[in-house]
Amino acid sequence: MPVHLTPLAAAGADRDHLVAFLTRNVFPFHVRPRTTAGQAGAAIDAGRWGADEIETFWIEDEERGRVGVVRLDDLADATAMVDLRLGEQHRGFGLGAAALTAATERVFREHPGVIRFEGQTREDNIAMRRTFERCGWVHEAHYRDGWPIADGEPLASVAYSVLRRDWESGRTTPVPSLSPDDRARVIAAAWAAEEQLLTPDVRRDSSALRRLLAEDFVEIGQSGRRWTRDDIIAALVCDPGRGDGEITEREARRLAPGLVLLHYLLRFDGRSSRRTSIWRCEPEPRCVFHQGRSVP
């Protein structure tokens, strides 16, 4: 998707346009989702949208025109930071990945002292996390309770980055593998969470289910139907089943750091089925995929 970055003069000719962009759009996964004109103006005057170590650009799309802004921070350091924001009407079209790719090119081509380019977002910002991953960025950190929420409990802040050497070579360097003890701990945590999902008390509790099922959870039922997280929660609360399930023939495999695949035979409510689950454990286990098939 053809996207290019146009320098933005926050304290000059683009000031009013930047204030309008920041105040007319809601950014639900930022610490401050809504910005007033006064707050935007104060941030510009303080140099947070343009200074010696900060560059800001309009994100321009050939078809849609101006779709957002990207700010590059700490450009005099070895690690630079990115803040990418799209206008509400331009989200969901892949523009974030195109803009992030353009920003990465800009940082590594124009700032030779930068060896690492990092971005952080809330743990539940699935769209931005997928954008990082689509662009070859690596999930490096999970800061528990690191993201303040104005009207609720804090959430985790997750950090992704791309290295200059990876950008130059076209390869992705993963984070170091877990030690054997850590792998065993992660697999044990996934099994414990899987077992919780089979208890009627959990299955009838929508809050407990939301803690165990990821926002992007998908289940393929025995009939072939595709269930979303909201679908399966509604169904389980209405019909949690009777008694706990019995798991046998357990198999577990670590697919990637913090990602576990489980296979097992389940006997539940007088029926048997073979089950497969994928759990994302970062750090608390959340199921992202489940599938079942009946057996005699």
Look at residue 175 and tell me if it is in a domain.
no
Count Cβ atoms below 10 Å from residue 81 Cβ, excluding itself. Answer: 20
- Domain boundary (169, 192, 207) is at 169
Domain containing residue 36: CATH number: 3.40.630.30
Q: What stretch of H or E contains 189?
A: helix 180-197
Q: Give the chain's mean pLDDT.
A: 91
Q: Is residue 186 part of a domain?
A: yes
Residues 135, 197, single domain; the answer is: no
Same domain, 158 and 220: no
Beta strand pairing call for 79-86 and 116-122: parallel
Task: Judge whether 92 lies within some domain.
Answer: yes
- DSSP H/E element including 119: strand 116-122
Q: Is residue 245 part of a domain?
A: yes
Ramachandran angles phi, psi of 256, nearest 5°: -165, 170
Number of domains into which the chain is organized: 2
Q: Is a pLDDT exceeding 70 seen at residue 1?
A: no
Instruction: Tell me the pLDDT tens digit for each residue of 101-128.
Output: 999 999 999 999 999 999 999 998 989 9
Compute the chain's Rg from CA coordinates.
23
Residue 159 lies in a domain: yes
Q: Is residue 203 part of a domain?
A: yes
Q: What is the strand order of the sheet 55-61 is part of?
A: 3-7, 55-61, 65-73, 79-86, 116-122, 155-163, 138-147
Q: 234 with 97, same domain?
A: no
Nearest C-alpha neighbor of 57 from the set 72, 45, 44? 72
Cα-based angle 161, 166, 170 (whole degrees, multiple of 5) = 125
89 falls within a domain? yes
| Phi then psi dihedrals of residue 228, to 5 deg | -90, 175
Q: Which amino acid is at 184?
A: A
Q: Which residue's structure tokens are 């952080």?
A: 120
Q: Which residues lie closer than 8 Å to 158 by C-beta, 6 or more apart?
A: 120, 121, 122, 123, 129, 139, 141, 142, 143, 282
Same domain, 144 and 195: no
Residue 224 pLDDT: 85
Q: How do residues 193-245 score in pLDDT, each as one tens digit? A: 999 888 888 888 998 899 899 999 999 987 888 999 999 999 999 887 766 67
Co-location of 38 and 136 in the same domain: yes
Banded model confidence at residue 294, pLDDT cuts 50, 70, 90: confident
- Asked whether the predicted pLDDT for residue 282 surpasses 80, the reply is no
Q: Are 209 and 233 in contact (CB under 8 A)?
A: yes
Please name every residue paired with 213 in a beta bridge, in sequence order, or none if there are none: 287
On whether the CB atoms of residues 141 and 280 are closer than 8 A, the answer is no
d(CA 179, CA 193): 21
Q: Is there a single domain that holds both residue 12 and residue 133?
A: yes
CATH code (residue 255): 3.10.450.50
Distance CA 259, CA 94 (A): 25
Contact 81, 118 (CB under 8 A): yes
pLDDT at 4 over 80: yes
Boundaries of domain holding 118 = 3-169
Do 142 and 118 share a structural domain?
Answer: yes
Query: Which of 136, 169, 202 corresponds to the end of one domain?
Result: 169
32 and 162 belong to one structural domain: yes
**Of 139, 169, 199, which residue constitutes the final position of a domain?**
169
Residue 174 inside a domain? The answer is: no
User: How confident is the model over 127-145, as a mean pLDDT?
Assistant: 91
pLDDT at position 230 is: 93
Please tell me whether residues 17 and 155 are part of one structural domain: yes
What does the alpha-carbon distance between residue 258 and residue 177 come to, in Å, rounded to a whole number? 10
> Is there a single domain that holds both residue 68 and residue 151?
yes
**Pair 51, 144 in one domain:** yes
The closest of 41, 70, 67 to 54, measured between CA atoms, is: 70
219 and 116 belong to one structural domain: no
